[in-house]
Amino acid sequence: MRGDWAAVLLFCLFAAVIAGSLLAASLTLGRRGKRVGREKTMPFESGVARAAYDPGRFSIAYYMTALMFIVFDIEMVFLAPLAVLMNDLGAFGLAELFVFVALLAVGYIYIWRKGALEWT
């Protein structure tokens, strides 16, 4: 048991040493004293200056699409391992699958009622 934690501690120590050395190298080797002009500090996105492009407010459909993406993502992350272990889990796994799918169905029904599935 102690050997397992020693490996984790060694890995964390190794990660801290790498992060610290990269930070120290950046601070010592980085350019200092360079003046930053006005153009370098202006906001810029996709070649269009910010003053020339104002998208306005986002529609609720944008957020509903994001919510739908999250629901699909959660579904795939949890259903794939459950499908792999379904034979080993037996009746408990099947009941867990039904509860999980029922919870996802609540999310889908909410999205459907809000009109996020209508793309026009």
Spans of all domains in the chain: 2-114
pTM of structure: 0.42
Spatial contact of 111 and 64, defined as CB atoms under 8 Å apart: yes
Paired residues of 49 in beta bridges: 44
Residue 58: per-residue pLDDT: 73
Return mean pLDDT, the chain: 80
CB atoms within 10 A of CB 5: 9
CATH class held by domain 2-114: mainly alpha
Task: Give φ, ψ of 42 to 5 degrees.
Answer: -75, 140
* Closest to 18 in 3D by CA, of 30, 28, 26: 26
Residue 82: per-residue pLDDT: 82
Task: Give φ, ψ of 46 to 5 degrees.
Answer: 55, 35
The string of pLDDT tens digits covering residues 65-120 is 787 788 788 888 888 888 888 888 888 888 988 998 898 888 788 878 877 677 65
